[in-house]
Amino acid sequence: MPTIKRFGNMRVFINTDDHGPSHVHVRGPGYIAKVGIHEARRA
Protein backbone atom coordinates (compact mmCIF):
# COMPACT_ATOMS: atom_id res chain seq x y z
CA MET A 1 0.00 0.00 0.00
CA PRO A 2 1.75 3.15 -1.16
CA THR A 3 1.69 5.97 1.38
CA ILE A 4 0.73 9.32 -0.14
CA LYS A 5 1.27 11.54 2.91
CA ARG A 6 1.90 11.34 6.66
CA PHE A 7 0.46 13.85 9.14
CA GLY A 8 1.86 13.09 12.57
CA ASN A 9 0.36 9.69 13.45
CA MET A 10 -1.98 9.68 10.43
CA ARG A 11 -1.14 7.96 7.16
CA VAL A 12 -2.98 8.58 3.87
CA PHE A 13 -2.61 5.68 1.45
CA ILE A 14 -4.11 3.92 -1.55
CA ASN A 15 -4.63 0.25 -2.32
CA THR A 16 -3.50 -0.30 -5.89
CA ASP A 17 -5.75 -3.36 -6.31
CA ASP A 18 -8.80 -1.76 -4.65
CA HIS A 19 -12.24 -1.31 -6.21
CA GLY A 20 -13.97 1.91 -7.39
CA PRO A 21 -15.20 4.55 -6.90
CA SER A 22 -11.93 6.41 -6.37
CA HIS A 23 -10.95 6.86 -2.73
CA VAL A 24 -8.03 6.99 -0.30
CA HIS A 25 -7.63 5.39 3.10
CA VAL A 26 -6.58 7.28 6.23
CA ARG A 27 -5.22 5.33 9.17
CA GLY A 28 -4.27 6.62 12.60
CA PRO A 29 -4.10 5.35 16.17
CA GLY A 30 -7.33 3.44 16.77
CA TYR A 31 -9.14 4.31 13.51
CA ILE A 32 -9.25 3.88 9.74
CA ALA A 33 -11.36 5.88 7.29
CA LYS A 34 -12.15 5.70 3.58
CA VAL A 35 -12.44 9.12 1.90
CA GLY A 36 -13.97 9.49 -1.56
CA ILE A 37 -12.26 11.43 -4.33
CA HIS A 38 -14.71 13.20 -6.60
CA GLU A 39 -14.06 14.88 -9.91
CA ALA A 40 -13.56 18.61 -9.54
CA ARG A 41 -14.71 20.89 -12.33
CA ARG A 42 -13.74 24.45 -12.97
CA ALA A 43 -16.59 26.96 -13.13
**DSSP conformation class of 16:** T
Give me the sign of the Cα torsion angle 10, 12, 20, 41.
Answer: positive
Give the per-residue pLDDT at 19: 80
pLDDT number for residue 34: 92
Strand partners, 40: none
Tell me, what's the pLDDT at 11?
A: 96
pLDDT at 38: 81
pTM score, whole prediction: 0.71
Q: Which residues of 10-39 are buried (b: 16+ CB within 10 A; e: fewer)?
A: ebbeeeeeeeeeeebbbeeeeeeeeeeeee
Residues 1-43: tens digit of each pLDDT: 789 999 999 999 998 888 878 889 999 999 999 998 887 777 6
Alpha-carbon gap, residue 36 to 43, rounded angstroms: 21
